Structures are given as structure tokens and as C-alpha cells.
Structure 1
């Protein structure tokens, strides 16, 4: 016996990826509904070999549905998630709306699966920020072995993290570089993104950090360990899909780079590609479409006591969003709903 599943935001990049991953992972779906705003009503989307018509989320009756995967942004989630939850449908939300609510679990299944039982508080589960999700997958097994004291992370985040508009802006600006008079001004991003890097993701806070940087700090503490100190610099780069991170870790206990490499090879959700030769690492191009979080460039940091450096790459539309949501749904089915 399977589940009655809803994908809200089915016409967007993440919503479509959710449908792909539900199919790829053979999630036990008895019935599925795809929702979006009224202007997308009637649009067709694919689910495996089926074609589904999008329904209006405003008019949808949530009664009798088991799980809803939300990819509709915070404002719409604020309206529709409580409606779904009140009807008994467990919402797995990809927006930032509920991530910092102490009553709502923020889950990365490889890291804090036991938090799934807290979904009973409000029938809502939060999916973390894309940059946080891949980082904590890499940090968790190392933290279990040597206890992490401090993390310094610099991210190199693809434009798909800003949605279709971000991808279109990179594409159009790149084309415009080669056609005089057809240059495209920055609109989605604060500066030109083609052939450039932008050291700002989201708005600036009074501290001087951007909100994206603050999210990585707050979410790592909630998911992994509140005692870990985290400082982040988040940068948008002209890559379509795939986030990369340079991570410097300070541990309480010494951890040898060879042992760290072995630990990561055995950890769930991680694929180690770490050869000390040209090309012996993973870049965003290679990670697109893959479920894994890739770790490369594992090496001792001799400038601090008990330090390691590593390079972490993942498909942000998958592990950073859609895959993590589906993994949460699998966890929910195995530990809480338990049908069949």
C-alpha cells in the first residue's frame, strides 16, 4: 500500500525535479496531484511515463492526502501549508519559512533522521537551505569521530539557486556578450553574472553578513550541533547547476586526512573522488543529475591545530532541494506513517 502524494509548485525547477526523483526512487505513490498557482492551471508536467495536469492550489481539497512536497516560496507556503497540515497531510516544505521554528524539525536524513518524529508537533517538516544540506552531509561523519569546533566555509553557488530567472539571466547575458547592442543588464542579480562572480546571495544584515550566510550558520547549528561555530562567505558564480564549497574544519581531536577519507567513503550519501592529480576531483559539471554529495581535496590544514580542508560539490536542485525532500518523505513513510 502506497501514499497519496501532492507536489505543490510542480511547474518550477524544484517541483519538476521532485517529480523526477519520486519516480526514479520508486517512491510508493498510489495517487499523485500536482499543484501550482491559478495561472498555471492546466499546464502539463511529466511523472515517469505519465502526463499530469496542474491543478489550482487555491481550490485544492487536502482531505485524505498523506504527504505534500512544497516548492512554492514562503509567502504561498504561509497560506497553504497550515491548510494541508490541518487536514492531516504532512507538509515537507522547501522554503525558508519554517526552518528556524523550534517546533518544526529541520531535517537532512543522513544527519538527523530521529528528528522526523517531531513532525507530529504541527504536521510540517522543513527542508534546509541548499548550501547547508550538502555541507552537513559531509560534516556529520567527521563530527561523530572527532567533534567539530569551528567551520569556515566559502560557497560557489550556481544560478539555479535563484530559480529560472537566474538561469535565464546568465544565459541571456552570456549570449549578449557576443552580439553588440544586445547586452543584458543585471536584473535578478545585483551585478552582471556572466563571466563574473558576485559576493552576495540574499540581502545584507546589520552584521555585514548576507542572509544566505546567516542561514548556513543557523541551520548547521539546528541540524548538526548548536555548539559548532560557523562562518560563511556565499558567492554566486556563473554556473547553471551545482553548488561548490571550500570547507575548512577545526576539530577538538586530531583527525588524520587518510582516516577522514576512509570515514567519508563509508558515509551515507557521499562519494569521495580525491586523487592528487590534474582532474582528480569533482566539479559542478560532473555532479549534475547525481544523488551524491561529492567530496574531494581532503587534506590536513597545518596552520591550525586539528584542522582539515575539503572541497564539496552537489547538485543543488537535487540534494539541495528535491532529493532531500523525497528522502524526508521516505523517512516519514518508514518511521511515522508506516503504510503497507
Structure 2
């Protein structure tokens, strides 16, 4: 190496050292007590602003706590998770990746729009928490219009119930309410304990006891704040094609009468039209050949014994 080259290299090294020293000074300045006080004050102000928003939103919903949502006569289907893009996976695979789409922060999880049918553009943030495999509590990304949340009644969901002080005192989307417990009218229990979310629709189930039979376990890695976070999710039975039904029960699922039965096209139940409470599904007349449990997407837990008693007066040659 020549003296000239040596000299140039020495100058470059000095410049690099000066830049490193400058970076250290800037980092030190950023971490100065005064800056830390400012950052803490800003953080507290943001938290207080968020608490004020939550309090105001909660009051709005509690003022409408007795507003009916049309259940069960005007039933709604469970909505898809439109803003969580889940990458494709093979049937035998138990893991995949997903990402929240940009619309997550600007559109309602129920109507998928920025403005609801009444012209309301205000989106309320869900106050629920997502539970990751790492046991980190991460804020739910759901946002919704008040009108859409109050009208939503799939699985007998009642948005105002979670807002009551004797329940959670929070505004929460269906991902923080066990779909099975809630549908069985265990309303208080439905909001307690760890939940497992369906990766494809707005349904959740108690992690330990309420996973529906026929579900697929699916570990989903979602990028949050720049890093991948693992979640134990499922694909609930609503997203699988049902196999051909067996022979039908020769009695109405509601009244047990054996005459003039309608056979459900998607399960072995039989029913009478007059025994059904549901009149419309998503604003449309219900299919004439589907029972209420199939219309509502009802499920059965794993490890739950199913007992069937056949009486002489309801058994015919078609029943197995």
C-alpha cells in the first residue's frame, strides 16, 4: 500500500469514527432525562385520549342497551374475516401465515365498508385482546360501526351485553365471546377464559372445552409491529363441505311430532316449518329445506357424549 493510499484510508477511518461519535451523541441526547419526560408525557396523553374515546363509546352503546337486534326471527350468518388474509395451506398442514390488510384500520368488520348504511363513518375500536402462543396480549384489530355491531346477531351474539359493567364493561367483537357458550345462553361464562379464534370467520371458542367437533387446528403466524407472532387458531366446521347426510330422524327436532315432516338437506334432523323461529337469513327468506341449527351454523363440542333415545312411536324403516 502506498503512502497516499495509506493517508486516504486514515482520513476515511477518522470520518467513520467521527460519524460513530456523532451517532452516540444523538442517541445520548435522545435518551436524556428531558426527552424521556417528554416521551412519557406524550405516552400518558395518548393513553388518556384512548381511555376517553373508550368511555364515550361505552356510554353510547349503554344508552342503546335495550335496542333489539332481530334475533332469532331475522338471523344473520357468521361473517368472514375479510381483512385477515390467510395464506393457502394443504389439508394435512397445521400451520400457515397471515397478514392484516390495510382496510383493517379503515373499514367495519361487519359490513366491510368505511361508512354504514345510515351514513355513519365513525369506527369504534374493539377493546378485546388477542392471546398469542407466547402469552403476549395484543390489542384486537377489529373496528366497527355502532349500528353494525348492535344489529349483528349471528349465534345469538348481543353486542351490548359485553358493555354492561356486570359483564366486561368493554366493547368487544365476537372474537372475544365463546360462540358455543353464548348460543347456549351461558352469556356470562361466554366472555371468560382463553379463546381460540377461527382464522376464517368472526367466531371464537373456549380453548380448553369448547372446540367444535370437525375443526382443523391451524397455527397462524401474523406479522404485528414488524415481527411474526404465532397464534393457535382453528378452521371451524362452517368452512368444510358437509358429507352426504344419513337417514333422517322420524320426528320433529322441536316438537317431536312425527307427521308432515320436512327433512333437512344438510343434516339428519327433521322439522316442521311452523316450529321454526327463524324467518329470514341475512334479510332473505330462509331455505325451505334447512333446519334452524344448520341455518345458524350450530356446532357440537369435542368429547361430548351424544345420547339418542329411540321411542317406538318415532322409529320407522328409514331410521338407522
Shorter-chain TM band: under 0.3
Structure (1 or 2) with the greater helix fraction: 1
Q: Considering only CA atoms, is the larger Rg found in Structure 1 or Structure 2?
A: 2
TM-score (norm 2): 0.27
Q: Which has the higher contact order (CA 8 A, sep 6+)?
A: 1
Structure (1 or 2) with the greater strand fraction: 1
